[in-house]
Structure 1
């Protein structure tokens, strides 16, 4: 399928009640900033009675910190492993203890890779690696981050396990995680991050849970994404947008193409659709 340009849409033909938006590479610029005009867009969304939901591989606490006006709102965090609606957790899925032990051992024993593991728990995130370079990267996505001596001893259900590689997350997935991928879901979520989750858990499931809670249909849902961890949620909305900078597979799945994140694509498209 070839996605159409966002400019081909007639705003009068839309009835958007729910907007679900990935963060990195989609809403945020490459520099990690909110796009120009986002404050005005949020006011427009509120005025139109539309529910805006961040959907990210980031930690729930991080998303809540980034969106202070959404306290008591809705979030899809940890790539769908935890979903919050109206401030209440409506879904969580955790990785079993044996899997945690396997992944920790894989990272500890890896040779030729500059990688670190983040244990993403319900109550916080945890790491063993302590150098400043790795902690700086992990802290971008995990507002609640603690250093522990042994990740296998963390007493907090693991929503997912995230591996950061300073060079290529795809290389890590290909070289180290093949056996794990036979029984687990291994998702390359960005150029440097790869996530390990329970099979069948993804952002799309989180979006569908919110659609049910809100009594909103796919025809009333707009979805924005750019990378492989967004693939499953793209199909949850008839108004599905891949950013111009998106992975080719996401571009092929979406119905429309939005301007890139650095061209403030989410703001431009939603302002166009909701202003009429």
Structure 2
């Protein structure tokens, strides 16, 4: 990018954060400098909403797009928008996937809590928000409509199938009834409501701010970042990124453990210093 972006959208795990889930002091300083230079920052993550308050306290108060685009939060953790999965659509998807790939346990991410079937693995990713309130039940009961409870993401795991095989079967089973992606490297597939992606929520929000897609720089490392990386004016794959991301992004930066996002932010800030002003909204 030869001009300074007005908005930087960055994934968290494998991108902004080190592999141990920490935020380096260099990256923290780069985020602060970029904000002071008038560059708006947005964290765009697959992490669920239950992680948002801790993320904001720990890595900085910026807007967060969570659950692969299903929720948008202000820097004070106020909910701006959610795009839940319809209960009937998710419920109809479950038997289709089980017929195609037997032996699949499911989990459900709501706005503030987490539910899973008894056979679903007990995973924790990173160091933020790893102690959810858990509901353990059949996926049919977890998806049943309940007052004030919105399903933002449905997850499915297969204990033996390779991820690429499982993801393809899941994608075919979902068809047009859900967005299907993956982000962990494990045999774990994530479903969102149709049309809900990191890109869709990012562009809808930035448009309201008067920022065009061409004025956004985005960073990512996994397939759930692909819609965002394709949609913006400037895209960066981390050196540690998934092969599909490396093929898709138009730019590349150093790995997450080498503070690749910080390196790019520092360049953006230097451009502001020599007169290429970023106009913050």
Q: TM-score range by the shorter chain?
A: 0.7 to 0.9
Structure-to-structure mapping, 1:144-155, within 5 angstroms: 144-154=132-142, 155=146
Alpha-carbon distance in 2 for matches of 1:25, 1:165: 23
Contact 1:223 1:236 (8 Å CA) reproduced = no
Distance 1:272 1:23, change over 3 A: same
Q: How far has the Cα of 1:111 moved from its partner? A: 7.2
Cα distance in 2 for partners of 1:225, 1:72 equals 20
Between the aligned partners of 2:199 and 2:222, the Cα distance in structure 1 is 13
- Equivalent residue for 1:26? 15
For 1:246 and 1:138, the matched residues in 2 are separated by: 17
CA deviation after TM superposition for structure 1 residue 214, in Å: 2.0
In 1, Cα distance between the equivalents of 2:86 and 2:101? 25
Aligned twin of 1:274: 269
Distance in 2 separating the partners of 1:109 and 1:65: 38
Moved more, 59-68 or 175-184: 175-184
Once the two structures are TM-superposed, the CA of residue 201 in structure 1 deviates from its matched residue by 1.2
Contact 1:186 1:197 in 2 (8 A): yes
Match of 1:129 in 2: 118
Give RMSD over aligned pairs.
3.0
Q: In the TM superposition, what is the alpha-carbon distance from 1:159 to its structure 2 partner? A: 1.3
What are the residue-to-residue correspondences of 1:98-137 with 2, within 5 Å? Answer: 98-105=88-95, 116-129=105-118, 134-137=121-124
Change (3 A) 1:138 1:240: closer
Q: TM-score, normalised by structure 1?
A: 0.81
**Counterpart Cα distance in 1 of 2:30 and 2:105:** 37
1:93 partnered with 2:87: no
The equivalent residue for 2:223 is: 228
Structure 1 pair 177–220 and aligned structure 2 pair: CA distance change class (3 A)? closer
- Conservation of the 8 A alpha-carbon contact between 1:204 and 1:236: yes
Query: 8 Å contact 2:97–2:173 — kept in the other structure?
Result: no
In 2, Cα distance between equivalents of 1:202 and 1:27:
19
| Aligned 8 A contact 2:69 2:198 in 1 | yes
| Kept after mapping to 1: 8 A contact 2:5/2:215 | yes
Q: Which runs of 5+ in 2 are unaligned?
A: 274-281
